[in-house]
């Protein structure tokens, strides 16, 4: 395999090239821009044989992807923050039509105030749109996740769009060593997309027709069963990827969890600083570890129950503000899981790193050594907020 130092955004574009995407449609928005800029260069230079569609908005970008995927093309798009929200209407249509589009979401805080920096308010606002959602911690994971995403999405047991999340700037704009697999190996792992049904004037089909009350519930139930059933395929694809390419992935990653009584629970690159804090805490004799989700949708409940039942305390770190809700989105998932399975575990909810705010390892050490005490106002604590 070829190992090079490369900006992660450019590496993602190379991964799309390795996946032999046929249609790319995206509207540039910071910090996603470098991905589509590099793809535009690859197409213009003849290095990637694909249709590159310039559109006037993110709504049109995803609409174009829906049309291209419905016509049988392997499609790719990318966006961030307000761009994802402008796509919001079409996100549901893509998943409801069971179209295997792959999107790289370069996570960025939502306005206002205007911010170009990373948090997870964009993806959490779209978490229930019916897309499979993967999270990455480094550039290698991002490259491999794009290739795996197509294999997952196009599996006929799944046929759903996949969103690959990478943190804006802290991952998208850094230069990292990345191993690129040989094209022949990717081709053997990811054969050409062979859709069941396509838009074709020679063989007319109807897509997205009215769902009368007599059938709408059944249609949505079937979609729900499909995304829940996709977890087995995600695990299967990750296992096969490991056999073929030598890099092994799991839907849940853990760090220093053996013998741990407490653990952090978080998504994305913030886990790098949490790991540094855990190393320092372990040196002081603290039995503490980390649970990191690579797969967020469908939520890996059964696998998490097996992990959580051995813990006494879980500190959930969320990079999104719930805005009037009882708890943050990630905490709601965990607390519901704990309640329904009668897990005896102390759950604590922390909000950190909004709008790109740095959260250094010392702050996680402070969290770990000073359990959150609810003061009667909020169920969560915002780290670093100034009065």
Mind listing the pLDDT tens digit for each residue in 22-42?
A: 999 999 999 999 999 999 999
Q: State the pLDDT at residue 376.
A: 67
Evaluate the omega torsion of the peptide bond into residue 31 and state whether it is cis, within 30 degrees of 0: yes
> Hey, CA dihedral for 44, 47, 51, 56, is it positive or negative?
negative
Output phi, psi for 174, to 5 deg: -90, 150
How far is Cα 246 from Cα 140, in angstroms, rounded to an integer? 12
pLDDT digits (tens, 9 = 90+) for 231-261: 999 999 999 999 999 999 999 999 999 999 9
pLDDT tens column, 305-347: 999 999 999 999 999 999 999 999 999 999 999 999 999 999 9
The answer to whether the bond into 113 is cis (omega within 30° of 0) is yes
Q: What's the CA gap between 39 and 222, in Å, rounded?
A: 35
Closest CA to 338 of 312, 361, 317: 312
What is the per-residue pLDDT for 272? 96
150 three-state secondary structure: helix
Residues whose CB falls within 8 Å of the CB of residue 94, separated by 6 or more in sequence, listed in order: 62, 65, 66, 69, 101, 130, 131, 161
Look at residue 140 and tell me whether its pLDDT is greater than 80.
Answer: yes
Per-residue pLDDT of 214-239, as tens digits, reads: 999 999 999 999 999 999 999 999 99
Helices (H), the chain: 8-18, 33-44, 58-70, 81-86, 88-96, 121-124, 139-154, 183-189, 213-245, 270-283, 301-308, 329-340, 361-369
CB-facing half-sphere around the CA of 186: CA atoms within 13 A: 22
Residue 348 CA to residue 363 CA, distance in Å, equals: 15
CA angle 194, 152, 189 (to 5 degrees): 70
Structure tokens at 168: 């804006």
Average pLDDT of the segment spanning 203-217? 94
Q: How far apart are CA 83 and CA 334, in angstroms?
A: 28
Q: Which residues, including other chains, have CB under 8 Å from residue 257's CB and lie 6 or more apart?
A: 263, 289, 290, 291, 307
Cα(151)–Cα(234) distance, integer angstroms:
9
Contact 90, 62 (CB under 8 A): yes
What is the pLDDT at residue 32?
98
Crossing angle for the helix pair 213-245 and 139-154, nearest 10 degrees? 130
DSSP three-state, residue 341: coil
Q: At what angle do helices 88-96 and 58-70 cross, to 10 degrees?
A: 10
Q: Bigger pLDDT: 89 or 384?
A: 89
- With residues binned 3-state (H G I as helix, E B as strand, rest as coil), the percentages for the chain, rounded to 5, are 40, 20, 40
How many angstroms separate the CA atoms of 278 and 166, rounded?
23
The closest of 293, 286, 294 to 265, measured between CA atoms, is 293
According to the model, what pLDDT value does residue 1 have?
A: 73
Distance CA 9, CA 64 (A): 22
Q: What pLDDT is attached to residue 25?
A: 98
Which 3 state secondary structure label does DSSP give 25?
strand
Residue 171 is encoded by which pair of tokens?
A: 């991952």
Percent of the chain with pLDDT over 70: 99
Q: How far apart are CA 265 and CA 318, in angstroms?
A: 9
Q: Read off the pLDDT of each residue in 120-144 and give the average, rounded to a whole number.
A: 98
pLDDT band per the 50, 70, 90 thresholds, residue 373: confident
Residue range 59-84: mean pLDDT, rounded = 98
Q: What is the mean pLDDT of the chain?
A: 96
pLDDT class of 102 with cuts at 50, 70, 90: very high
pLDDT of 378 reads 83
CB atoms within 10 A of CB 182: 12
Residue 386 confidence (pLDDT): 86
Distance CA 96, CA 226 (A): 10
User: Closest Cα partner for 270 from 306, 315, 231?
Assistant: 315
Q: Report d(CA 206, CA 200) in Å as an integer.
A: 10
What is the pTM for the complete model shown? Answer: 0.97
Q: How far apart are CA 53 and CA 64, in angstroms?
A: 8
């Amino acid at each position: 395999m070829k190992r090079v130092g490369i900006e992660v955004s450019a590496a993602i574009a190379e991964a799309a090239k390795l996946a032999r995407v046929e249609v790319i449609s995206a509207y540039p928005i910071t910090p996603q821009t470098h991905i589509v800029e590099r793809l535009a260069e690859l197409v213009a230079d003849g290095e990637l044989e694909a249709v590159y569609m310039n559109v006037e908005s993110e709504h049109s970008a995803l609409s174009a992807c829906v049309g291209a995927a419905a016509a049988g093309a392997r499609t790719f798009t990318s966006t961030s923050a307000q761009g994802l929200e402008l796509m919001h209407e079409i996100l549901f249509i893509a998943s409801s039509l069971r179209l295997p589009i792959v999107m790289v979401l370069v996570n960025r805080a939502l306005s206002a105030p205007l911010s170009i920096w990373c948090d997870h308010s964009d993806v959490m606002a779209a978490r229930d749109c019916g897309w499979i959602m993967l999270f990455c911690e480094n550039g290698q994971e991002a490259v491999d996740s794009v290739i795996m995403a197509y294999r997952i999405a196009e599996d006929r047991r799944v046929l759903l769009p996949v969103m690959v999340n990478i943190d804006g700037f802290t991952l998208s704009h850094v230069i990292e060593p990345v191993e690129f697999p040989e094209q022949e190996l990717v081709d053997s792992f990811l054969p050409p997309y062979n859709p069941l049904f396509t838009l074709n004037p020679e063989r007319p089909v109807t897509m997205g027709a009215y769902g009368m009350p007599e059938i709408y519930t059944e249609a949505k139930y079937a979609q729900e069963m499909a995304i829940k059933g996709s977890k087995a395929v995600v695990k299967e694809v990750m296992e096969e990827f490991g056999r073929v390419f030598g890099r092994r992935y799991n839907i849940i990653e853990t760090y220093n969890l053996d013998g741990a009584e407490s653990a952090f629970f978080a998504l994305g690159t913030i886990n790098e600083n949490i790991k540094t804090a855990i190393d320092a805490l372990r040196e002081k004799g603290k039995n503490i570890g980390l649970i990191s989700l690579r797969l967020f949708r469908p939520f890996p409940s059964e696998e998490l129950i097996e992990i959580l039942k051995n813990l006494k305390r879980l500190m959930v770190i969320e990079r999104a503000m719930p805005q009037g809700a009882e708890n943050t989105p990630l905490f709601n998932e965990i607390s519901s899981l704990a309640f329904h399975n009668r897990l005896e575990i102390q759950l604590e909810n922390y909000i950190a790193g909004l709008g790109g705010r740095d959260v250094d390892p010392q702050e996680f050490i402070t969290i770990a050594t000073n359990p959150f005490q609810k003061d009667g106002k909020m169920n969560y604590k915002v780290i670093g907020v100034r009065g």
